[in-house]
Each structure stands twice: as C-alpha cells, then as structure tokens.
Amino acid sequence: MANNYHHGDLRAALVTAGLDLTRTGGPAALSIREATRQAGVSPNAAYRHFADRAALLDAVSAAIQDQMAALMVAPAARGGTAGSRARARLRAVGIGYIDFALAEPGWFAVAFFGAADDGPIDENRLPPPYMALQEALDGLVQAGVLTTRQRDGAQWPCWSTVHGFAVLALQGPLRGMPGDELRAAAARAVDAIITGVTTNPG
C-alpha cells in the first residue's frame, strides 16, 4: 500500500479518520485498523505516531475538546456593564457546552467518556472546555460580580450542572423532550446556576 504521507501528515490524517469514525459511533467505533484503512495506509504505519488505540483516542478526544471550546466562547459584547458582559460570557460557556453535546453526542462521549485516564484533572493539561469555564468565572471576579471567596471552587457546580443536563438529555429521562423545550430547559438550568453562584454569600 502506497504511503505518501510525510512528517506529521499521517498523524493528522489518522486523527481526522478518528473524528469521522467517532462522530456517530462514539468511542467504540474507533479502531487502529479502521482509522488506517480510511487514511489509506497499513495498520503498522499508525504505530509511528500512536503507541496504541488509547493514544489515538486521546488525540481524537483532544481535537474534539478544541472544537467544543471554540463553540463555548461568546462574541465580545459591546453594550451593558462589565458585570452583564461577564455574565453573558459565562452563560455562553454553559449553553455552548450543552448545545455541543446535543448536536454531537458521539463526539461528546469521546471527549468525556472515551479517554483511558480516568484520574483527576492534570493541572498541566487542562481540557479546553474546562479552561473556558475557568476563564469565564475569572472574568466575573474581574468585573466585580464575584468575590475571590465565591470564585473558589465555583467551577464544580457550574460544570456539574451543564454536564449533568447533557447526560440527562442524551441518556436519561429528557431524551424524548422536543428540541425547543429541551433547549429552553437547558437555558433555565444555566441561568439558575449562574444566579446561584453569583448570589451565594462570599
């Protein structure tokens, strides 16, 4: 089988193949053999870039999380107060997280349920969606909406709310809810946690 890839081209091609495979099939759809078949190379060629399937899955997960984080960033608001703009930014992060999960359930499963490492977050390699949330919360402190005491640990109730809602919508009792109602419920959940975080005594 001809191999016309050079340098990092094959690695990128394998990640692209992994994205294609997992978009509808989730983590279980990814295999070295199928990814290399799509890339047009022999299975052995993949091991020059990835030690095993888990390493390829991690790379695909990282690419998905980059895409997800990009959708969680709101366009810069021009009007209103610094506080209202900071709240809008946090709201966009929450709504964007849920919207991505609903639009791309296969990728969402890879990003948060597919990685082999199920240990605590590595502070030296933070997931981009988590970083987007952290930055939005820090923006609330800078805008004077949150005190530093309120800010401490606020990412966990925020992330729990949007992640939990996404799981309920994809795998739980919210699965049959019409799309418009589901998104209205998502917005209500996000607004409720923002209110809770910003009014909790600090």
Position 73 scores a pLDDT of 84
- Residue-wise burial string across 14-35, b where 16 or more C-beta atoms lie within 10 A, e elsewhere: bbebbbbbbeeebbebbebebb
Structure tokens at 179: 């799309």
Cα-Cα-Cα-Cα torsion 116, 129, 134, 159, nearest 10 degrees, comes to -80
Reported residue count of the chain is 202
Position 123 scores a pLDDT of 62
C-beta pairs of 77-85 under 8 Å, 24+ apart in sequence: 81/143, 82/142, 82/143, 82/144, 83/140, 83/143, 83/144, 83/145, 85/143
H or E segment and range at residue 71:
helix 53-71
Position 55 scores a pLDDT of 94
Position 82 scores a pLDDT of 93
Position 114 scores a pLDDT of 74
Position 79 scores a pLDDT of 76
Q: What single string gives the DSSP state of each residue in 7-54?
A: TTHHHHHHHHHHHHHHHHH-GGG--HHHHHHHHTS-HHHHTTT-SSHH
Across the chain, which has 202 residues, the per-10-residue mean pLDDT values are: 61 96 96 94 91 94 95 76 94 96 96 69 77 96 96 96 97 94 97 92 62
Position 51 scores a pLDDT of 92
Domains of the chain, CATH where assigned: 9-50 (1.10.10), 62-199 (1.10.357.10)
Give 95's contacts (C-beta < 8 A, 6+ positions apart).
186, 187, 190
